[in-house]
Structure 1
Amino acid sequence: MEISLLAMDLDGTALLDDHKTFTPRLYAALSAAARKGVAIVPATGRQYAMLPPAVRTGAEWEDLCVLCNGSEVRRLPTGELLEARYMEPDAARQVLALARSLGLPVELSASGLLYLTQESWDMQRAHEDSLYFHLNNILPARGRTVPTLEEVLDRPGLDLDKVNLPYVPTELGAEVERALEAAPVSFAWSGPHSLEITHSQATKANGMLAACRILGVDPACTMAIGDSGNDITMLKAAGLGVAMGSAAQAVKDAADAVTASNREDGAALAIERYILGGP
């Protein structure tokens, strides 16, 4: 199968454990794929303002990106918004009520910021071992403490791309999933304890398909690489889905192939094999 578009997850897939950089081998593989005419589309749960330096180098392949698990498709170099599926405030209020009833921390993600109450911030600090990167890198830069999240939802013109439940205890996972399945939302696990909730049509799969429409690419000629629960829809929708070696079994089960981990250049290896025609 000839690949025309590569949808590539970032954290845990393309990025090293610093959450900022690619290996030289991956940079080389992406450049070679681009020279072959393949569109490279990072697909991430991050907001545009939180994209890492690795995808803002001015490389020839930097064009489209799928953000916030499919809530937005933007131009990488300029941030131009091409397509959006933002959450309705009423759907977000259902999620807030669920979080409050179970005593879970919750964040609203909008316009490059994360809104949370002081209570939610304190709840997250109680789980710093699991949330170290989020607490020490994301929230200091993008977190905004507010008296209530309802006040944020009442703001006119709010572009609400996600609601995050940063820490869901294992024993509450099934209960939270059942409640969200009955709500008008999409949701995916981005980590063992982290749930990200979006508009009902906002998934990485739909974001990838939107990129295909914009670029005139046949979805059958796509390859996707990912490692987390929020990548599953994309891996299933792609012509070829590749899971990282470090992915959970459910992610591997959704894929057509499995490569090595991000620490072992798994993304580069997959590009070399399936796009560049290597061994």
Structure 2
Amino acid sequence: MKYKLIALDVDGTLINDDHELSPGTVETIRAIAAQGTEFVLCTGRAPRSSIPYMEQLGLDGYVITHNGAATVDVKTQEIVHQFAMNPFGLEPYMDYCRKHKVHFDINTTFGIFVENAAGLSQEALALYRQFMIDAPQELPLWEQLEDPIVKFTIAGSMDELDHIYSEWSLWTQEFNMLRSGDFFIDLMHKEASKGAALQKLAEKRGIPAEQVMAIGNYYNDLTMLTYAGLGVAMDNSPLEVKAAADAVTASNNEEGVKLALQRYCLEEQLQ
């Protein structure tokens, strides 16, 4: 068995643009898992919007969520590891968002908070529902938050976020800032990333990097693609992501995950 741990990004990778798992992808993952390979979803999503995909696949194990900021046991929902942020360091970013009317939310491992939750637009609520979030809670004072903050996210148009990213890149960075999608920017603990979390999990499981495979499609996947012994980019990835990967598969709408697993895992293991 060449690859003992396989990390899969979710949006733009595992699921298609309709947020669906294809039957062929499910069948292939189950076949490989039945041979003893572990799968972990490695996503910008929260646990509650990623664990259902593991359940649909019939898998136990772990999900690496919030772009690597929190790792959670699928069955027990125990937090295995999380990178806690300094909330006071977020205040300049929050002030910027208030001034420029940029939507932001604050994430703990299992919670999501916004200012003026009752006044969220239907468009914003629809976006949250797309990621299996009913509605964010009202953001309390820092001292009233019961759990550590693991991620700060802003949402907007591509042009707006391109501008904000270039502006914030000039600030002294206490946090890891990354584009987690065309319409999102995330701030996390400086050491938090998908690659760092995947490495911690692999070491916990006693699996060396050369026996880890990772498949992703965006800039937030770069660290796990370069950590893994085999990093595979989707055809719908930006050029920089494809360049950093060891191989490229078909797009998320063309069952690229299934094709990559069949090529590099299933066929080899059946020989």
207, 211, 214: which one aligns with 1:221: 211
Q: Is the 8 A contact 1:9 1:44 kept in 2?
A: yes
| 1:137 aligned onto 2:130 | yes
Q: CA deviation at 1:29?
A: 1.5
Tell me the CA shift for residue 119 of structure 1: 8.8
Relative to structure 1, is the Cα distance of residues 264 and 58 closer, same or farther in structure 2, using a 3 angstrom cutoff? closer
* 1-structure distance, mates of 2:230, 2:129: 36
Work out the CA distance in 2 between the residues paired with 1:121 and 1:197: 24
- State TM-score, norm by structure 2: 0.87
Cα distance, 1:137–1:192 mapped onto 2, change above 3 Å: closer
Q: What residue is the counterpart of 1:100 in the other structure? A: 98
Write the mapping of 1:1-279 to structure 2, written as runs, cut at 5 A: 2-19=2-19, 21-51=20-50, 53-57=52-56, 59=58, 61-118=59-116, 128=123, 134-138=127-131, 141-144=134-137, 146=138, 149=139, 151-167=140-156, 169-170=158-159, 173-180=162-169, 182-277=172-267
| Count, aligned residues | 268
Q: Report the alpha carbon displacement of residue 68 of structure 1 after superposing the two structures with TM.
A: 0.7
Comparing 202-211 with 181-190, greater Cα deviation is found at 181-190
Letter matched to residue 127 of structure 2: H
- Residues 50 and 112 in structure 1, CA contact (< 8 A), matched pair in contact too: no
Code of the aligned partner of 1:158: D
Contact 1:170/1:193 (<8 A) preserved: no
Conserved in 2, the CA contact under 8 Å of 1:105 and 1:121? no
Conserved? CA contact 1:58–1:77, under 8 Å: no
- Structure 1 residues 133 and 213 mapped into 2: Cα distance closer, same or farther (>3 Å)? farther
8 A contact 2:161–2:184 mirrored in 1 = no
**Residue type at the aligned position of 1:106:** F
Q: Specify whether residues 17 and 172 from structure 1 end up closer, same or farther in structure 2 by C-alpha distance, changes over 3 A only.
A: closer
Is the contact between residue 7 and residue 222 of structure 1 (CA under 8 Å) also seen in structure 2?
yes
Shift of 1:36: 2.8
Distance 1:58 1:277, change over 3 A: closer
**1: CA distance, partners of 2:31 / 2:146:** 41
* Distance in 2, Cα, partners of 1:225 & 1:182: 32
> Do the aligned partners of 2:158 and 2:182 also contact (CA within 8 Å) in 1?
no
> Which AA in structure 2 matches 1:18?
D
RMSD in angstroms over aligned alpha carbons? Answer: 2.7
Letter in 2 for 1:41: V
> In the superposition, relative to structure 1, how do residues 52 and 73 fare at CA in structure 2: closer, same or farther (>3 Å)?
closer
Shift of 1:6: 0.5
Task: Note closer, same or farther for the CA distance 1:251–1:33 as it changes in structure 2 (3 Å cut).
Answer: same
Query: Where in structure 1 are there 5+ consecutive unaligned residues?
Result: none
- Post-superposition CA distance 1:102-148 (Å, at most 9, x none): 432111112433212249966x76xx5xx79525534860322x3xx
| Shift in alpha-carbon separation, 1:79–1:98, aligned structure 2, 3 A | same
Q: Aligned pair in 2 of structure 1 residues 165, 277: CA closer, same or farther (>3 Å)?
A: same
CA distance in 2, matches of 1:269, 1:119: 42
Structure 2 distance, partners of 1:225, 1:204, is 12
SS of residue in 2 equivalent to 1:275:
helix
CA gap of 1:119–1:28, structure 2 versus 1, over 3 A, is: closer
